[in-house]
Structure 1
Amino acid sequence: MAERRRGAALERALLDAAWEELTARGYAGFTMDAVVRRAGTSPPVLYRRWPDRDTLVRAAVTHVLERSHIDVPDTGSLRGDLLTLMRTINETRVRLITVMNAHLAGYYQETGTNPGDLLADAREANGDAIWERAVARGEIAPGRLTERIKRLPFDLLRHEILISFAPVPDAVLEEIVDTIVLPLVE
């Protein structure tokens, strides 16, 4: 007889089942009942935590992002930090980014959100530290730094991944940083 899951172990199992269901069937085929079956639990157990599939999808994506946490680099320069973070994302998250865009199109349409909304918390935690250190070092003028510019290198990286469904060549990452992003803030 299987041991009964509780607390954090149960929540992890439910979120893992939700992510597996999402990647197997996409948002269009994603149902709370399918997650219940995949997790081997009952509907009340799932609905007590997440009242609807949109909330569960957001929680599953957040869970996957937390599980694949990326440390914020501190190389001593804005260029180095951006390139290191972009290279890490490029090496570890191509599949995740592709799955999120391909399988969640219906979610974005139904909820009026976009991939950036789901990635915002992770991006802000990593990106803000990089930009704040660059300002403190005097590398960039804070008045030139907007939210759009802070998102730009990562939006361009995501775009490159989505047009190729593959990791982005390092020369392209350097071009994004050196010829597009840095001239905007220097």
Structure 2
Amino acid sequence: MNLEPDPRPRRRRGEELEAAILAAAWEQVLEGGYPAFTIDAVADRAGTSRSVIYRRWPDRESLLEATLAHGLNQGRTEVPDTGDLREDMLILLRRSNVERSTIAPLLSVFMGAYYADSGRTFADVRQQAFGERAGRTMDEILARAVSRGEADPAALTSRVRSVAVDLFRHDLLMTAKPLPDEELVAIVDEVFLPLVRPRPESDGRIP
């Protein structure tokens, strides 16, 4: 009886093969950016052929869009729910600080040629990647905060809803490294919470 392992590589198919290609393509984006993102490079890295890739994605751009959606959707997805708005926001920002601190600057710099060629922006890429999920986490956090009386629904304009994440993303792109925790606390305590909290009713007196 022959118990020797089969030396032939196992052939990947279907979803397993597609996931392997997208994982390799994501590594290619992070290491070389848009200029180095070619069908040949991805095929070599994934250990497959150009024809296999072209059967799934007709061109470089469609493969890139699928790759960005794959890469940006990695990581934890559950919405923080501690029963306290401040704690939920800090968990959200701290999680993003760990998961996105290397990705966002790389995409900002390495994808510059793609943005120039396509006329798209990082915001477009984010919307393409997340679709209906974009903004849903914040909507859920704020909806619970409103039901607990921690947030004023009249104050929750589009700009106010996104201000904490916008400030975090801006600082992350400017520094290209994780933010110190005190900066995350400052975004929540000094900017976000004062904007969303219900204001005390006026007693009619002029201050």
Question: If the length of structure 1 is used for normalisation, what is the TM-score?
Answer: 0.88
Kindly report the root-mean-square deviation, in angstroms, between the aligned alpha carbons of the 2 structures: 1.9
Runs of 4+ residues over 6 Å off in structure 1: none
Q: Is the 8 A contact 2:164 2:187 kept in 1?
A: yes
Matched with 1:142 is: 153
Judge conservation of contact 1:28–1:106 (CA < 8 Å) in 2. yes
Q: Distance in 2 between matches of 1:48 and 1:142?
A: 49
1:157 aligns to 2:168 (yes or no): yes
- Contact kept, 8 Å, 1:27 with 1:103, in 2: the verdict is yes
Question: Which deviates more, 116-125 or 134-143?
Answer: 116-125
Q: Residues 94-109 of structure 1 correspond to what in structure 2 (within 5 A)?
A: 94-109=101-116
Cross-structure match for 1:78: 85
| Cα-to-partner distance string for 1:123-153 (whole Å, 9 max, x where unaligned) | 4242222122122222222232233322221
The structure number with the bigger radius of gyration is 2
Comparing 157-166 with 110-119, greater Cα deviation is found at 110-119
Q: 2:179 aligned with 1:172, yes or no?
A: no
Map 1:62-77; keep pairs closer than 5 Å. 62-77=69-84
* Contact 2:30/2:103 (8 A) holds in 1: no
Structure-2 change in CA distance of 1:146 and 1:56 (3 Å): farther
Instruction: Give the Å deviation of 1:116.
Output: 3.0
- Larger relative helix fraction: 1
Partner of 1:15: 22
Measured in 1, the distance between the counterparts of 2:84 and 2:124 equals: 27
Separation in 1 of the partners of 2:79 and 2:119?
Answer: 30
> In 2, are the aligned partners of 1:141 and 1:185 still within 8 Å (CA)?
yes
* AA of the residue aligned to 1:68: G
CA distance in 2, matches of 1:140, 1:112: 37
Structure 1 gaps of 5+ residues are: none
C-alpha distance in 2, partners of 1:144/1:125?
18
* C-alpha contact (below 8 Å) 1:54/1:107 kept by paired residues: no
Between 9-18 and 34-43, the greater mean CA deviation after superposition: 34-43
Structure-2 separation of matches of 1:143 and 1:56: 42
Aligned length: 186
Name the structure 1 match of 2:200. none
162-171 or 8-17: bigger deviation: 162-171
Structure 2, gaps ≥5 residues long: 1-7, 198-207
Q: CA deviation at 1:100?
A: 1.7
